[in-house]
Amino acid sequence: MREIIASIDVGSHLIKLIVAEILNNKMNILCALEEESRGVKNGMIVEPVEVEYALKRLLNQAEEKLNTTITKAIVDVPEGETIFKIGEASLTITDEDKEVTGEYIQKVLQMSVKGNVDEGSDLVTVIPIMFKVDDRKTKIPKGMKGNSLSVKSVVISSPKKDICLIAKSLEKCGVEVSDIMIPSIGTYFAHKTENMENNTGAVIDIGYDTTKVAIINKGIIINNLVIDTGTKNIDNDISFVYKLSLKDASKVREELGLASRKNARAQETMEVVNNLGEKIKIDQYELSSLMMSRLHEMLNIVKNEINYLTKKEISYIIVSGGLSEQRDFDIEVESVFGPIAFIGKNNYIGARNNKFASAIGMIKYFDSKLKLRDKDFSVFSDDDLDSLVSNGNKKAITGDSILGKVFGIFFDN
């Protein structure tokens, strides 16, 4: 089976869709699309009908591009009220050959969830910290032999209402939710490297109206926070000072502004018509000074919050999100966090912009879950794949409830 996965990242400013194929442990982007977000504020769905409208537009674009319909996808949910708990479980290996299979791994992880999801919440994901086959510790137990399998895990849950809202919106668009996760997991998996798996670090994802901060210890998210500040704060400043609409302020920021005034030039200018009907000339140095002041404040707020989220020594800081594409953004990041901080990069053709980082990482994380549990998966049937190829795009808990369908891939009910 060809492993093709679709992910949807629901943001306050944009909804992003990625469709990718995993082949020989490499990701090939088949489709990367975005649609202006509707009905979402501070990462929370406030107008479901508007969200459904935006999702339908996005899915229609994908259908036109791929020549087939997306009927399954993984999706992220708000992480502002996420709960982290430690789970533990063990089971006896009853097969005659005493070999650990994907089914045993799936079952012991499911057992570790028991008692760790509060009333009113639902499971988002369970991340194994370490497995033990008898007394032998391992992160990949599949294929090992022994009498028992045990696991220590991080169980992540969120309010049921948040999960249901996005699941129902997608269901009304004809899309079944295959898995759910929080955006910070996606952002980490989009940018992580092997050496990070032995250290503690932070992931910063600057969105339009919020900034998500997550602490990662040895490759596992252990704490997080959503801060009420984002790109919109900078656009608001530009809008106020130059009397521009938010749309024009965003355009000026993207086309003329620098995140640091270090390389800005007063001679570089841009003419715009403000809200009073006046034609004004904005110079790059003044604009960049304004942007740098707000960005410096935002990053220092994040820096202080990281110190509250963990007492462990931070070895690396990944900064991502659409704003990280702003020119000279790296200069301001280093001035606040020092040399341990860097801007995450995506090297996938068609989705290099960091606004797609979380959606890309969601697919990577989902793929790692499939491999650990020895599962096959594809959003497309064989007939769908025939349509996909003919269009020139060939590239190298069951139950009655919506949430029951979500966990059916990984959990038995």
- Dump pLDDT digits (tens) for 147-193: 999 999 999 999 999 999 999 999 999 999 999 999 999 999 999 99
Q: Which residue has the tokens 């959003």?
A: 379
8-state DSSP, 239: H
CATH of 231-295, one of 3.30.420.40, 3.40.50.2300, 3.40.1180.10, 3.90.1150.10: 3.30.420.40
**Two tokens at 18?**
């990625």
The reported pTM is 0.89
Integer Cα distance of 35 and 55 in angstroms: 8
> Residue 90 is encoded by which pair of tokens?
């063990």
Phi–psi pair at 207, nearest 5 degrees: -95, -170
Residue 396 vs residues 73, 266, 267, 375, 383: alpha-carbon distances, Å: 21, 48, 48, 20, 18
Rounded to whole angstroms, how far apart are CA atoms 341 and 191? Answer: 13
Nearest to 299 by CA among 326, 264, 325, 334: 334
Task: Give the DSSP letter string of 384-399.
Answer: HHHHHHHTT------S
CB-based burial label for 228 (10 Å; 0-12, 13-18, 19+): exposed
Half-sphere exposure of 59 (CA within 13 A, CB side): 22
Neighbour tally for 232: CB within 10 Å: 19
Helices and strands, number each (H, E), in the chain: 11, 18
- Give the model's pLDDT for residue 43: 80
Residue position matching structure tokens 């919109």: 232
Tracing tokens 């059916």 back to the chain, one arrives at 408
Host H or E run for residue 318: strand 316-320
Domain segments of the chain: what residues?
Answer: 231-295
Please return the burial class of 96, using the count of CB atoms within 10 Å of its CB with bins 0-12, 13-18 and 19+: exposed
Give residue for tokens 């699941």: 167
> Euclidean distance between the first and final Cα of the chain, in Å?
25
**What residue ranges in 134-255 does DSSP mark as E strands?**
136-138, 148-159, 176-181, 200-206, 211-217, 220-227
Tokens of residue 25, six digits: 């442990």
Low-confidence ranges of the chain (pLDDT < 50): 389, 392-407, 413
Mean pLDDT of all residues belonging to the chain: 91
Strands of the sheet with 341-343, listed across from one edge:
220-227, 211-217, 200-206, 316-320, 341-343
pLDDT for 42 equals 79
State whether the Cα torsion 52-361-139-306 is positive or negative.
Answer: negative
- So what's the pLDDT on residue 383? 62
Q: What residue spans of 21-180 are helical by DSSP H?
A: 48-66, 102-113, 160-172
Phi/psi of residue 133, nearest 5 degrees: -105, 110
Indicate left, alpha or beta for 328 from its phi (over 0: left) and psi (-120 to 50: alpha). left
Tell me which DSSP letter residue 401 carries. S
Residue with tokens 């001679």: 267
**CA-based nearest residue to 287, from 250, 315, 319, 323:** 250
